Amino acid sequence: MKVITKFPAPAKENFYAELRKRVNNDFLERKQSINANSLMWVKTIIFLTLFTIVYFTILLVKLNGVTLVSLTVLLGIICAFIGFNICHDAIHGSFSSSKKVNKALSMLFHLVGANPYVWNITHNVVHHTYTNIPGHDEDIEIAPGLIRISEDEELRPHQRFQQWYAFPMYGLASLSWVLRKDYKKFFQKHIGARENIHPKIEYFNLFFYKFLYYFLFIGLPLIFIDIPWWQVAIGFVLLHLAQGITMGLVFQLAHVVEGTIFPTPNVEGNMEEAWAEHQMRTTANFATQSPLAAFFLGGLNRQIEHHLFPKICHVHYGRVSVIVKQTALEFGLPYHENETFTKALVSHFRTLKKMGRPLVLVNESIKNQVVEAY
């Protein structure tokens, strides 16, 4: 039986209580809703319109090979942006104050090939509670046995090269998600330490919407596009490589970079720090000053704010981040941040390289750097 990890109760005058008070007061003073504003709805319309145009162009317009491949890759990236910007907020319940609106928009997650019910369990419940805790947070497990991201995992010889092969594997992760991951997560006995019990309707939803997705992205192309079946199969794989690399990099750059930690509970299952403090040590932001990142990544480049306030729509995270950073500084907590996407990517690369090497080699490398500095 798996032990449920527990966080200690926060101190009387604690970081999170003060932070929530400041953020709530900011919204009250500005008389603004924590949910979607006009920009959020504009983004929603743009991404859904792009998806519709590209999908039906691929399906109904006679295209040459290069154009068809290019649009297929573009469609995969658009699917990732729909997941980031619309579905992610909707499943968290932060898009709208209306549960019906959130429910309707969360159903768009099926266009990405993923099941919103399973995602709610693995991401909203488990990942957001047990962030970066090995054995609990399955969101950070891209390819167990192939990619090592924590010192608690067994080190295998081939992982010395993982900083090179990890990136294409992020693309394969999307293909695995649509064909395998949701089924596996749904039917395994536990997700992390959480017992896996589902309503009967979700069994129907899992298979019905998966079939619908396969029909839309495999069945209809076979019917309408005048190319051999194996080229349709290649297109399906290309779509998911593009979608997977886009999604995988964004999520990994928020948790698997230099500075973030992978803490483990003690034998009783208790963590050393309160939940909010834990989030500050396991999560990182990147490219926070980039308007493009803010528009396309659905606030996931401001992962710290998202983890602390998942019920606030991501379009408000820029303002919230100022309050979070200042409050963290006052309480002596880290605020991990890479200024650009490139710097975060390099940090992720170095982290993978470090985790793929024996500790003795890592320590020797650090020692040599110190010697060279003097």
146 and 159 in contact (C-beta within 8 Å)? yes
pLDDT in tens, 142-163: 777 889 988 888 899 999 999 9
pLDDT, tens digit only, all 374 positions of the chain: 466 788 988 876 799 999 999 999 999 999 999 999 999 999 999 999 999 999 999 999 999 999 999 999 999 999 999 999 999 999 999 999 999 999 999 999 999 999 999 999 999 999 999 999 987 887 777 777 889 988 888 899 999 999 999 988 888 989 999 999 999 999 988 776 677 889 999 999 999 999 999 999 999 999 999 999 999 999 999 999 999 999 988 989 999 999 999 998 888 888 989 999 999 999 999 999 999 999 999 999 999 999 999 999 999 999 999 999 999 999 999 999 999 999 999 999 999 999 999 875 544 444 454 444 44
List helix spans (H) across the chain: 15-30, 38-60, 65-82, 88-92, 99-106, 116-119, 128-129, 162-176, 182-187, 200-214, 220-224, 229-252, 275-282, 291-296, 303-308, 317-330, 341-355, 359-373
Q: Which residues contact 120 (CB under 8 A, 6 or more apart)?
A: 91
Question: How many structural domains does the chain have?
Answer: 1
Give the dihedral sign, CA 15/16/22/26: positive
Q: Quote the CA–CA distance of 303 and 293 in Å, as a whole number.
A: 12
Residue 145 forms part of a structural domain: yes
Please state whether beta strands 284-286 and 336-338 pair in parallel, antiparallel, or not at all (unpaired): parallel
75 and 206 in contact (C-beta within 8 Å)? no
Give the pLDDT score at 134.
Answer: 84
Q: End-to-end alpha-carbon separation of the chain, Å?
A: 52
Give the pLDDT score at 367.
Answer: 46
Residue 22 forms part of a structural domain: no
Please state whether beta strands 190-191 and 194-195 pair in parallel, antiparallel, or not at all (unpaired): antiparallel
Question: For residue 233, what are the domain limits?
Answer: 27-373
The secondary structure of 210-256, three-state, reads HHHHHHHHHHHHHHHCCCCHHHHHHHHHHHHHHHHHHHHHHHHCCCC
pLDDT in tens, 305-319: 999 999 999 999 999
Total Cβ atoms within 10 A of residue 18 = 13
Residue 6 forms part of a structural domain: no
Q: Quote the CA–CA distance of 162 and 207 in Å, as a whole number.
A: 34
Which residue's entry shows tokens 């003060």?
Answer: 18
Residue 297 forms part of a structural domain: yes
Residue 190 forms part of a structural domain: yes
pTM of the model: 0.90
* Three-state SS at 6: strand
Q: Which residues contact 256 (CB under 8 A, 6 or more apart)?
A: 140, 149, 348, 351, 352
Give the pLDDT score at 47.
Answer: 97
Please report the DSSP string for 274-320 in residue order. Answer: -HHHHHHHH-EEE-TT-HHHHHHSTTTTSHHHHHH-TTS-GGGHHHH
Give the pLDDT score at 283.
Answer: 96
Residue 1 forms part of a structural domain: no
Total Cβ atoms within 10 A of residue 101 = 15
Tokens of 37: 């504003």
Give the pLDDT score at 217.
Answer: 97
Residue 314 forms part of a structural domain: yes
Residue 280 forms part of a structural domain: yes
Provide φ and ψ at 45, rounded to 5°.
-65, -40
Give the pLDDT score at 211.
Answer: 97
Give the pLDDT score at 369.
Answer: 47
Give the pLDDT score at 192.
Answer: 67
